[in-house]
A and B are shown apart, each in its own frame.
Chain A
Amino acid sequence: MATGVSRNNKLWGVVRTCVIIGILVIAPLFGLMSAPPALAQEVAGKLANSPQAVEAGRQLYFERCSFCHGLEGAGDGPVAETLDPRPRDFTSCIYKFRITESGELPTDEDLLRTISVGVHGTGMPFWDNSRVKTGLTTEQRWQVIHFIKTFCPDFEDAEFDPYKRIVVDAAVQAPEQTATLLAAGKKAYEEAKCHECHGVAGRGNGTSAPTLKDDWGYPLLPRDLTKGWRYKRGSRVEDIYITMTTGLNGAAMPTYRDTLSDEARWQLAHYVKTLQRERILETLLVAKQVEGDLPTAPDDPRWPEMANVIDVPLSGQVLARPRLQTPSADNLRLSALYNATHLALLIEWHDRFQDVEHQAPPAEPYDMQFTYPHLYDEQRPRPARYTLGEPPQVQYRDAVAVQFPVQLGDGPQKPHFFQGDTSNPVYVWYWHSDGDKVEEQNGRGFDRPLTVQPEANQQTRSQATWQDGRWRVVLWRPLTTPDNDDLQIAAGRNIPLAFSVWDGYNGEVGLQRSLSTWIFLQLEASPSSSLYMWAVVAIGLGIVAEFWAAGRARRKHSHAER
């Protein structure tokens, strides 16, 4: 450019720059294009009942449903004996999820909803094929429904027509939540005696809990209302309201339509919704450093005030016999704090019953005979969960185990999360409820027993409380110990951690338990002072560099102007 930048060019330059910046800002919005497709919400045109539909339904039912629900629809397929809750017995005409009066049949749309969405927390999956290709199309779902209805002759009887007994709109909308509404709901919870089954804090540990049965005589446990993801119908306020209005046929949850007004049921539904707790499903927990002593009591207020919290989801131990796919605990909450000398962990999980009695388990558990336990097998020794009114035949304590590797490697390699393996041992803090005692153990794989460290090498301590359906256990240990079999704990590194939980009431002992995979704990290290020095050096170098560049630029431009 022979002359300087003209005014017009400068303006045009600014405009161009704004346009470029604008495009750079809008481009990320195209990320919306890659969002997953919305769930199919509408019910497509209903397929009319016809012999062809029933026959198509029979073929689909055989291929997709009969292994659980049975060839005759009696809920007695071969898979059923391993499931809790058991698959629906269609010949009984009893259905849980309806918009009809308590004790009545469901509408066809109720059946479509249940099949499409599934039943959360049970073995019934969702069949909506807009979410997964191997589901059923809407037409196929209608065909299966028409076939399933043939298992119950009442569907043909005009006297039992469910469409004449609808008591709630499936698409009902909840009123807005207000503070007065919630306060009224809390009061209603007490007056309607919900706590008798669901417990005061909603953890499913009410006084009636051990005695509840369904219409087939199988024991039922009241829902833990804090776990929204386990509500069978769904966790929205509307779902709760509909459940309260219609009751769950065949189960212990009654209808409250006659005892509570519509307004009261909405208040109660809103209140119950607030009992649900959001989970923090991070895989890394940062333990903060504390001055002075660590809190060792579970209800020390310093835990919620100072410590970070994560939730660790637990699955049943389904890796090796004897397996368990019906565990009691499906979530564990973890907090951690450390000081100059010790690390403390606070572990919480929900357990309806406090089990402190313990008997030695048999060397060969009965459930070793099958890939999965046959829960109601006559020969199977019954824990309290399955006694069906009789005294339990086995009694085990509650327990939790915190598992670490013995050594921290440099790479990602770790011991296997299921008690390690032969080349990579694990180090376990095993706490059990009888005696509120924690033992340090080492393991080299699930197929051999853990070795307990000698008494002189036990440095870990515990303090535990069980209250209103929840265990809270604090475990603490010095960061470094003189034992080679212990993990030495230091700040600034990712420490793998895995958990196991046993609920004695459910017959959980040995390999039959809930467990988690590896998550990570990091003791927050304060940055060293040398880091700040390096930052100052970097700033200085930056200043030097930019002054040099500015000098060069000025020379170049004054040269160009001449």
Chain B
Amino acid sequence: MKTYFYSHLVEIETITTKLNEIDIAVHEREELVEIVHDTIHHHVIDAVLDELNEEDKKQFLKLLVHNDHDTVWQHLKQKVANIEDKIKSAINTIKQEFHADMP
């Protein structure tokens, strides 16, 4: 699984545990987990961009392209108060949507 600047804040064990209880093949489970990670990734980017002005957004995106995790965090912590909590909250919101879909 790819590592992003916020990866330490993501925990989807509750989702994978529930998927393990459903009668689906291993490769199907892996595909669904991949969709979850991808959705979380773009949801986090959306949540972060919502907190930034235009110039700070550009800087954030440039840093993201260069995959410089530490500098991304430095930038975000300078520009947005409680950014970690906001990202955690965004992740939890989207996780709840996934949970609601599962039997």
Answer whether A and B are interacting partners: no
